[in-house]
């Protein structure tokens, strides 16, 4: 059942909504040179940080479609009746969300990096930081989506919840991209793992609490 759920969610995302955050990410990357000017050196220095901000805000876009449609439509109830634990649902949602977010963001990072004159080692570090950071970001997005499912204006509340918690991820990802220090990478990975480990439990508990 969990495999079927991951497949179903991934298919639903790829037939539409998954491309929006990526388009948004590329759009923000395009805006940065307009805002700070075309100076290649300056862009190279702030580029990776700017792209991480773009990635975080792009991660907010799909939140309202991660859990709420399935809650409103009774899918979450039926999954429980079929013996799927709420935590398992959260794990499947995280896996499916990462599949439709992480790899696309990774690919989109190439043109985005070109726009900001990020190349060579800096590009390699940016790509590595995306691989390391996006699983944690996906777990956080699903947990926040479950917490806000069914609330009016869930999208804005989700932003207020997700962005502060994502700050450590941003700090260490950007630090790793800028300096290439292994400590920053290790700390980014640690935070990503922490989010991955906690996400299913928070998400599962929130799904259970929303069942009234």
- What residues make contact with other proteins under the rule CB under 8 A? 4, 8, 12, 15, 72-75, 77-78, 80-82, 211-212
Phi, psi of 117 (to 5 degrees): 55, 40
Measured from the CB atom, is 39 or 73 closer to other proteins? 73
Query: Shortest approach of other proteins to residue 84 CB, angstroms?
Result: 11
Measured from the CB atom, is 31 or 72 closer to other proteins? 72
Measured from the CB atom, is 83 or 152 closer to other proteins? 83
Measured from the CB atom, is 76 or 109 closer to other proteins? 76
Query: Shortest approach of other proteins to residue 106 CB, angstroms?
Result: 26
d(CA 167, CA 115): 25
d(CA 76, CA 89): 8
142: alpha, beta or left? (left if phi > 0; alpha if psi -120 to 50) = alpha
Quick one: which of 191, 6, 166 has its CA closest to 99?
6
Residue with token string 């944690």: 136
Measured from the CB atom, is 41 or 212 closer to other proteins? 212
d(CA 113, CA 117): 6
Query: Shortest approach of other proteins to residue 210 CB, angstroms?
Result: 11
Do 207 and 146 contact (CB within 8 A), yes or no? yes
Do 203 and 87 contact (CB within 8 A), yes or no? yes
Query: Shortest approach of other proteins to residue 5 CB, angstroms?
Result: 9
Query: Shortest approach of other proteins to residue 91 CB, angstroms?
Result: 18
């Amino acid at each position: 059942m969990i495999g079927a759920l991951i497949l179903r969610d991934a298919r639903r995302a790829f037939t539409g909504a998954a491309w929006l955050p990526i388009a948004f990410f590329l759009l923000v990357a395009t805006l940065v040179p307009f805002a700070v000017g075309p100076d290649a050196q300056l862009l190279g220095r702030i580029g990776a940080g700017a792209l991480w901000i773009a990635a975080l805000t792009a991660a907010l876009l799909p939140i309202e479609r991660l859990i709420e449609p399935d809650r409103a439509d009774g899918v979450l109830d039926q999954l429980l009746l079929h013996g799927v634990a709420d935590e398992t649902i959260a794990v499947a949602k995280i896996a499916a969300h990462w599949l439709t977010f992480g790899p696309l963001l990774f690919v989109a990072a190439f043109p985005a990096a070109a726009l900001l004159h990020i190349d060579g080692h800096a590009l390699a570090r940016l790509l590595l930081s995306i691989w390391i950071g996006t699983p944690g970001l996906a777990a956080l997005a699903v947990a926040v989506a479950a917490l806000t499912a069914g609330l009016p204006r869930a999208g804005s509340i989700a932003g207020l919840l997700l962005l502060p918690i994502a700050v450590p991820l941003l700090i260490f990802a950007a630090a790793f991209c800028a300096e290439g220090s292994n400590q920053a990478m290790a700390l980014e990975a640690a935070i990503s793992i922490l989010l991955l480990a906690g996400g299913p439990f928070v998400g599962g508990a929130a799904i259970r609490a929303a069942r009234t």
